[in-house]
Structure formats: C-alpha cells, structure tokens
Chain A
C-alpha cells in the first residue's frame, strides 16, 4: 500500500456486501459517506464510492474520463473475453454506444410512448381488477411485475404467453448479483458462467429465446423492436448474433426489473403515505412530481460503476487511471444539499434539480425513462380513480442484491370506501 491509499477514508459499511441492502437502502451509512470530505474507499472490492449528487452528475456526464467500456459496469471485475461476450450498449462508450442506442431510441421518446398509453392503461386496469377481486395478494406478482414486462414485451414483440417466462428469466438474471448459489446447467446452459451476464445461466435462456424470436422476425418482420434490430445496420453491418442477443437481454432486463421495483415500492408508499396520495387525488397537477418522487424514493438501480481512463480528481480525491468509480444513485437521491428533508416522501417536491434514478445525465441516461414515467403515472391515476386503499399485511421481502433495490414479495390488502362515503 502506498501513502495515497493509506489516507483513504474507509466506508462505515461494506457497500459491496448484498446483505447491506437486506432491509432496503442503507440511508444512515450513505448519509455518513456524503458528509465525509472526498470519496470513500471500499476495501472489499476496491472502489471509490460516489455518494453526493454533484459528484455523481460529474462522473455520469464525463464518459471520456469515466468509461463504461474499459472494466465493467458492475463492481466485480471480469475478464476481457467475458466483457466482450456480454457487451451491449450499456457496457460501451461513445461512439459505438451512440450508434447502437440510436437504433432503438426513437421508440422511447416522449412522443412515441404517448402512443402506448391506451395499451398500458388496459394492462394496468386488468391487473388492478384481478388484485381487487381477490381483496389483495402479492402486489409484486399481481401488479408490479406483470405491467412493465407486458409493456416491454409488447414493444419487443414477445407474445403474451411468454411474458411469465421473461419475468422468470429476468429474476434469475438478477439472482446472479445476490449471494444465492446458481445451478450452472439451468436453462440448458453449457456456457462457462463467468462468460454470461450477471454470471447467470438465465442469460443463456434469454439468448436462446432471443435467437428463436429473431429467426421468426427475420422470416416475417412485424412492427416491433426485434424485427427492427434484426434488420438494422450499424456502420453498414448487421448486428452480430452476440450484439443482437445482448441487446434483447438488456431491453428485457432494464424494461422489467427497474419499473417493477418502482411499482413494488409504490405499493409500500400507497399504504404508508396515504395522505400524500390524497393530495394527488385532490390536485392531479401533482401527478408528474408524484411519479418523480416514487422514482427518487425507490431508486431501483442502486449503482453503476465506471472505470477511470486517466488520472483525475473528484471532490478533492485523487483518482488513478484504472480505478473503479461507483455511482450510488440510491445515495445521491437522498443528498440533503439537493433535496430538502430527503427522507420525507413528498409528492410536491420540486422537479429541479432532477433526481438521478434514471442516471445523472450523459450518454447512458435511461432509455426507458419516458416509458417508466408513463407506466407509473397511469398506475397511480387508476388507483386514485378507483379510490383504492392499501394495507401491508406482511413485511416486504427485499431482493438481497447490491445492485437493484428490489422487492420480491409484498403482501397487501386492498379496499374501497363503502358507497356514499368519500
């Protein structure tokens, strides 16, 4: 160890340990880290922890200094051959990233997602009908999971009967970031796990599914993203099998897990912050800021990592070329210098400055942000229109992961006020 390293402030908790997130976001630990000067150093995995809003935005926007391509976007390092195997636009820097992203970006702009409103509303209504009919149940299985996967699968062109399979694969993919042991041969996998995204055999299942669907769409194109990706050319060349299957995997994962987490947490907030939703019920102009608050408060993605491409400095801390720099969105979203009284859930919170749940800006800003906002907005609207009230029946079961702030199960009861009462 050199002198530089000896002076590093060490985090009060191990941010790399999945158990740190077993009860949700470790707010106290993040507050301590934000209060410390400079960046703190995680000794277990060897990374700089970025926890303040301003620092995170700086890292996020400077893709030249903080690379997604050299190294890995998750905390643990992987071999170069494994990196190449799993590369999708999220693991690449401009200009390659930009070319890939532009293949699909137009499907996710606010103008385009407006057009999906009616279909999304039908999905939301169906899920709420079922949930109400049973007087409640597992909010995640009944509402939070099926809505986002249904929406992204519609966009991709995955037929309805396969949506449940996509949920299962996506869940097992995330299991690769928890301490759970994985069966390397699951889904007929024969690939060395270290070569697979999240080191998970479920990635093999997703790749196989993508290939099959891709073949169908190559033969008979439809108006969906898989058809578009199969036909797309980047720099005069078709996407390789590896590029296509990873693209599909990324879209299924990102379109599924993140919005699902936000919706799962929304269930908790509906039960615990009913007064806040009453405000939105009375004043619908608060819907937009309420959606942003759900996204901020839930911070579905806990972190993404970058790797420094050169010696640099951030918040007074010297960073060396090759150092891992980890952006803790779940910490920056509660930065008390940016969000007044950050731990209070406030549907009227000003939207500027932006929370960083969709990223701190720059090339990797969440592609699905507009889609997620519209899905959450419709779900909240429908709940308010139906005058639904929720109670949490059993404590939520969190996903033990250092990467996603997920809820596995949330048992809730639902009721409507007796007729004539308001």
Chain B
C-alpha cells in the first residue's frame, strides 16, 4: 500500500498563532503576519506520520487533516 497523503486544515477560531506548524512543515503552513493566524499554503500534502506529528504539536488543537 502506498502512503496515504493528507491535506491539512486550520480551525481559524482555535488558532492563536503559536507557529509550531510553520516550524515543522514550512512547505505547508505559513503564519500570516497580518492576521496572526496560520494558513495552509500551496497544494502540498503530508504523509500520515508527518500529518499526525504536526497535529500533535499544535498546542491549541487547531490543525486537522482531510483526504
């Protein structure tokens, strides 16, 4: 079986802009300096292990994944 790729999502009500996601996966996440909220950039997807790691590292529980 090939690795399942996930598209990442941000719950903008929960995001407080800690920036852990951007540090871990800079190809996928970017902290918008004007709004202070993380956004998902580009069309990059993540394999399950990296998707789960970045979800786990978000202190505000704002990151999700979808197919």
Give residues in A with beta carbon < 8 Å to B. Answer: 61, 94-95, 98, 101-106, 108-112, 352, 358-359, 361-363, 365, 367, 369-370
Q: Does B56 contact A (CB under 8 A)?
A: yes
Give residues in B with beta carbon < 8 Å to A. Answer: 13-14, 16-20, 22-23, 31-33, 35-37, 56, 59-61
A405→B52 CA distance, assembly (Å) = 34
Contact in complex: A358, B59 (CB < 8 Å): yes
**19 contacts across the A-B interface (CB closer than 8 A):** A94-B13, A101-B16, A101-B17, A102-B16, A102-B17, A108-B19, A109-B17, A109-B23, A110-B22, A110-B23, A111-B31, A352-B56, A361-B61, A362-B59, A363-B60, A365-B59, A365-B60, A369-B59, A370-B18
Contact in complex: A105, B16 (CB < 8 Å): yes
Contact in complex: B13, A109 (CB < 8 Å): no
Contact in complex: B59, A105 (CB < 8 Å): no
Instruction: Please name 16 further chain A to chain B contacts, defined as beta carbons within 8 Å, in addition to the given A358-B59, A370-B19, sorted by A numbering.
Output: A102-B37, A105-B16, A105-B17, A105-B18, A105-B19, A105-B36, A109-B17, A109-B19, A110-B23, A111-B31, A112-B19, A363-B14, A363-B16, A365-B16, A367-B18, A369-B59
A103 to chain B, nearest CB (A): 7
Residue in B closest to A109 when the chains form the complex, CB atoms:
B19
A95→B13 CA distance, assembly (Å) = 8
The one of A94, A98, A110, A362 that contacts B19, using a Cβ cutoff of 8 Å:
A110
Contact in complex: B18, A109 (CB < 8 Å): yes
User: What chain B residues lie within 8 Å of A367 (beta carbons)?
Assistant: 16, 18
User: What chain A residues lie within 8 Å of B59 (beta carbons)?
Assistant: 358-359, 361-362, 365, 369
A312→B5 CA distance, assembly (Å) = 38
A302 to chain B, nearest CB (A): 20
User: What chain A residues lie within 8 Å of B35 (beta carbons)?
Assistant: 102
A374→B61 CA distance, assembly (Å) = 23
Residue in B closest to A102 when the chains form the complex, CB atoms:
B36
A108→B33 CA distance, assembly (Å) = 11
Residue in B closest to A61 when the chains form the complex, CB atoms:
B61
B39 to chain A, nearest CB (A): 12
Given contacts A362-B61, A365-B60, contact A106 B23 (CB under 8 A): no
B15 to chain A, nearest CB (A): 8
Residue in A closest to B20 when the chains form the complex, CB atoms:
A110
Contact in complex: B18, A111 (CB < 8 Å): no
Contact in complex: B22, A106 (CB < 8 Å): no
Q: Closest 7 CB pairs between A and B?
A: A109-B19, A105-B17, A102-B36, A365-B59, A110-B23, A105-B36, A106-B33
User: What chain A residues lie within 8 Å of B36 (beta carbons)?
Assistant: 101-106
Contact in complex: B60, A361 (CB < 8 Å): yes
User: What chain B residues lie within 8 Å of A106 (beta carbons)?
Assistant: 17, 31-33, 36
